[in-house]
Amino acid sequence: MDFFDHQDIARKKTGRLVLLMSLAVISIIALIYVLVLVVAFQMAGSGSTSVGGSGFNGSSTPDIPYLGLLAATTVGVLVVVGGGSLVKTSQLAGGGKVVAESMGGRAINTDTTDPDERRVINVVHEMAIASGAPVPTVYMMDHEDGINAFAAGWSLDDAVIGVTRGCVQQLSRDELQGVIAHEFSHILNGDMRINLRLVGVIFGILVLSVIGSVVMRSIFYSGGSRRNNKEGGGAVIAIFFLGLALYIIGYVGVFFGRLIQAAISRQREFLADASAVQFTRNPDGIAGALKRIGGFASGSKLQNAHAIEHSHMFFGNAVGSFLGGALATHPPLPERIRRIDPSWEGGYPQGQTAPRGASLAQGALGFAGEAAPPPVSQPSPAMGFSPGAVTASAVEQIGELTPAHLQHAQHLIESLPSVLRTAAQTSTGAQAVVFAMLLDRRDPKVRSKQLAYLDSPSLGPVAALTQRLAGAADELEVEQRLPLLDLTLPALARLNPQEIEQWQTHLDALIAADQRLDLFEWALRQVVWRHLVAPERGGRGGKRKLTASREALSVLVSVLARIGAANAREAEKAFEAAGEQVGTLGLELLPAESVSMGRLTGAVDELSGVEPRGQRSIIAACAAAISADRQVTTRESELMRAVAETLGVPVPPLLPGQRLI
């Protein structure tokens, strides 16, 4: 399966989740309706009140409006459960950051000098650049000794990765890489969205228990049962037992919700384990991490009170299992290990801490302070890396990680000027790095205008740092620019909304200095806008059919067809190649003068709401347009990745000699 198939499956699982939870809610409505009838009979029988204004009709059977009570019960349960779910889901609207902070996580500054934190940051950066996904913020759970990790978020844009202190202290680099690869599988396969929906739905059912508890407490502490023994005492008792029943039914509903949660989670864990092996081609990494959990005193258990709420998101079992493991969100540890390492004999490392590699003071420094991983390929003169023969195209590898991409990402990061790589790790430095990349290299007048603008007092230390970084930024190869931009995103994300807005104003001023918007500037602005300004606008996919966005796709493909074309005939040929990827959609090659960068931005924004199958066609059409002349320039590749990032599609970097499609 490819990235788009996984997205479709994730959506279908969400649909099944809704169906299963709907059945659970219907069962709850039926149970509560029976209880309401019992209370109604009790109240009517006590003579303390009438039901629906009817009271007794002179017979031994109360006149009870059954359909009215059924409607009221149904509406009441739906309001309570649905309202509770909506409230919880709205609390989670901030994405993975909200989950991480509720688990006691602390965002790791990317300029950290702690060797353990530095190591996990570097592994995450490598994985992100290798997969074409945005670099997620990493959170450290300082007070958790268990070996565990999680990925959370609604989309690629707001995803975060959390790790426990025990995870980074107890695992070797290879084992840590296996764990992070497992979590990237959840990010790329669309599992995170289901996980957050599970939290919201189960919380909604739990609200019934909260209401039941409030009813019981109010009756108990008011002393109403004592004061009303003679008048309406039976009704008070009935209400008390209704509260008790709500409390019990709520927890029974949560129990079945946990069963659904566990069933959905366990199968995804097997897939993520297998994906981690596929990504790294190192089964010993993830298998070693699982074995170390088995031999570690704290295992993978967490102490945080919210652990049970988010247990299905974690790498290992975060809480104890009950009922023989029926509610366990993860498969048994031995079963997971044997699927990866069939020769395993059942032993766990006892009381050992894996060697974590050289500290900051040791060895040759590799990725911003960590001892460099051992080389796995022969360097090439161009980028210091040669992946060997690559048979799959870049489009075929969307949403995947391969050892070749990991190696390429490692060498790409190493090839960046150290002054830029270091600056990208702080909020001030990251702003300056982006500004430095925007300084015009061709026109001295435009560059002077930009530098004059940077003298503004409102820019403070960012302006001075930009000028110091300008020379290094000028030396960047074109293929290094977007990866460097990706490395700045976690540091830029630490700015508050007002600071981001002000910084973007300066960004737009530098871009507008030459009164035109070139493709790199457009790509950079799209990435910044998408990940920092409006991450909720796309990246979560949509339900729109591609046929409804035919005009938007025509705009996008028209731009791509003309970029690398030497003449009108070549542009037509590229456009025709793109059209073959979308069948009978009937695209129209638009005149160059009718397509502005603003129109291109609107088109890509609209296309981000297309369903996964349609997005597959969009990416294929873009790749076909670019590849029609059998060569892919760096500028075309850069634009392709910017378009893909706006769509929320993780296109990995194009390896040397690799086909785009």
Active-site residues: which are they? 183
Number of H helices, E strands in the chain: 24, 4
What values do phi and psi take at 151, rounded to 5?
A: -125, 135
Question: Which of 278, 286, 285, 266 is closest to 332 using CA atoms?
Answer: 266
Query: What contacts 346, CB < 8 A, 6 or more positions away?
Result: 334
Q: What is the 8-class DSSP label of residue 111?
A: T
Q: What is the 8-class DSSP label of residue 325?
A: G
Element (H, E) at 152: strand 149-152
Cβ neighbour number for residue 221 with a 10 Å cutoff = 8
Question: Which of 354, 5, 371 is closest to 179 using CA atoms?
Answer: 354
CA distance 425 to 416: 13
Q: Up-side HSE of residue 333: CA atoms within 13 Å toward CB? A: 22
Convert 295-316 to b/e letters by CB count within 10 Å (16 or more is b). Answer: ebebbbbbebeebbbbbbbbbb
Using alpha carbons, list the distances in angstroms from residue 122 to 150, 416, 450, 491, 557: 17, 14, 33, 14, 36
Residues comprising the chain, all counted: 661
Q: Where are the alpha helices (DSSP H) in 281-332?
A: 283-295
With contact defined as beta carbons under 8 Å apart, do 371 and 638 qualify?
no
CA distance 124 to 138: 8
CA distance 185 to 181: 6
3-state secondary structure of 225: helix
CA distance 316 to 331: 9
Query: What contacts 551, CB < 8 A, 6 or more positions away?
Result: 588, 603
Q: Up-side HSE of residue 586: CA atoms within 13 Å toward CB? A: 2
CA distance 389 to 369: 31
Q: Tokens for 568?
A: 């009108």
Q: Tokens for 371?
A: 């001892």
Q: What is the 8-class DSSP label of residue 103?
A: T
CA distance 220 to 241: 11
Element (H, E) at 107: strand 106-107
Q: Up-side HSE of residue 196: CA atoms within 13 Å toward CB? A: 29
Query: What contacts 90, CB < 8 A, 6 or more positions away?
Result: none
With contact defined as beta carbons under 8 Å apart, do 403 and 434 qualify?
no
Residue whose structure tokens are 């390896």? 655
